[in-house]
Amino acid sequence: MPDKEQIVEVESLPLEMISGATYLIKQANPNSYTHGMFKYPCKFIPEIPRWGINAFLTDKKGVIFDPFSGSGTTLLEANIHGIDAYGTEIDDIAKLIIKVKTTVLNSHKMAALEQEYLNVMEVISQDQAEQFRPQIINLEHWFSEKTIVELGRMKFYVDHIGDTDVRDFLKLCMVSLIKRVSNADDTSPKPYVSNKIKKVPPTVEKEFTSVFRRYKQMMTELSGVEKMGNTMLIEGDALAFQMPVGIDLVITSPPYINAFDYGRTMRLENLWMATLTEEELREKKSQYVGTEKINPKKEKSNLTILERSGILKTYFYKILEQDEKRALIVKKFFEDMEGNLRAVYSQMNLGGKYIIVIGNSTIRKVIVESWRVIEELANGIGFRTIQYFSYMIQNPYIRIPRKGMGGKISKDYVLVLEKKTET
């Protein structure tokens, strides 16, 4: 690592990177096309996959894969470049976001969108309209009765729209306004109702109109792309998947260690869309990489990964002195990441590149440089390091302190690995 941090201001990332440098990307609007749909937690900027595609797929041919697809930043950017992309994702709301963001609507469907928008606006105000009521514990704590009724009418109507593309677009509009029209604090990623600051939510009609207009404009911009690639979400997850073809380029941003409870963060949206029940949400929590829901006894029984990464071993025992469970959570996270690295390596073409975007975490005052641990594990599997750099996060979604368990992320590191061509 360089002795003194070198900060380089750029409008976009250059193809020839300064290894170890920190980049400050000065873009007025980083979220072009449909990238700006939905404020998904810990979303990384489109500039990274854009740079990766231009740097490593110079002829715009190849297979791109994102094992932690999230809201589809890599997949959409690949499609905009005319390249087909594959991904895995376990969150149902994220799958909806990906589908809508990467599906171009023709003029007929755009016209249908406008008509259905008018229909929804009419239904919201109809006293006799049928409505859906979500199974949310303390529902009235989160929403006013008026909002519950209006969202319920909207949900019932949208669910019965015949055209799946039009229906999914409007579903995403609804998903995007749920938190805004709730009593939950707007600045916290995890939903909670503040006792100090009384929130006055916008009306469902006002917020739906605002979201619909913005998203329709984004879709209009996407329809201007000359040659769109296709996105395919495959079965499985980041640790267990089977690609139909060999992988040339992986660009992904895995979760932070112990930093983000995606299930809780997306709870209101999942329950309103009836993708999961409260119980299923709790059960699913353990499936996420980086989860806090672990079996300490089971995790303590196997510490062999510490012998494959001296850096991780040092972190583990420093954290263990203060908090055994946190140390085991860190160990489990890197075990999962190693599983992902092995799965990708086995299905990647020789010379294929793996670009990983991840920030450091502070666990019990121990700064864990995640990219360095991942690099060490990857090198042990057969990847070689091409370069690494970092970029400043200008508008991080995580704006609240996490009581020393995760820490605010100020910059992300980008690690570029290659499947070695030599035997």
CATH, range 11-92+227-419: 3.40.50.150
**291-349 pLDDT per residue, tens:** 777 888 999 999 999 999 999 999 999 999 999 999 999 999 999 999 999 999 999 99
Average pLDDT (175-181) is 96
pLDDT at residue 405, as a whole number: 41
Q: How far apart are the first and last CA of the chain?
A: 29
**pLDDT given for residue 400 in this prediction:** 34
Least reliable range by pLDDT among 26-30, 37-41, 277-281: 26-30
Instruction: State yes or no: pLDDT of 80 exceeds 50.
Output: yes
> Looking at the DSSP assignment, which residues form a beta bridge with residue 251?
355
Residues 6+ apart with CB under 8 A from 319: 326, 327, 330, 363, 364, 366
Residue ranges of domains in the chain: 11-92+227-419, 107-222
Burial string for 95-116 (b: 16+ CB within 10 Å, else e) reads bbbbbbbbbebeeebbebbeeb
Structural tokens at position 284: 């699913």
Average pLDDT over residues 124-150: 95
Q: So what's the pLDDT on residue 86?
A: 98
Q: Dihedral sign, CA of 395, 400, 401, 405? A: negative
Q: What is the pLDDT of residue 309?
A: 97
Residue 72 has pLDDT above 50, yes or no: yes
> pTM of this prediction?
0.91
* Mean pLDDT score, 106-117: 97
pLDDT digits (tens, 9 = 90+) for 232-256: 999 999 999 999 999 999 999 998 8
* Residue 346: HSE in the Cβ half-sphere, 13 Å Cα cutoff: 12
Q: Give me the sign of the Cα torsion angle 63, 67, 72, 73.
A: negative
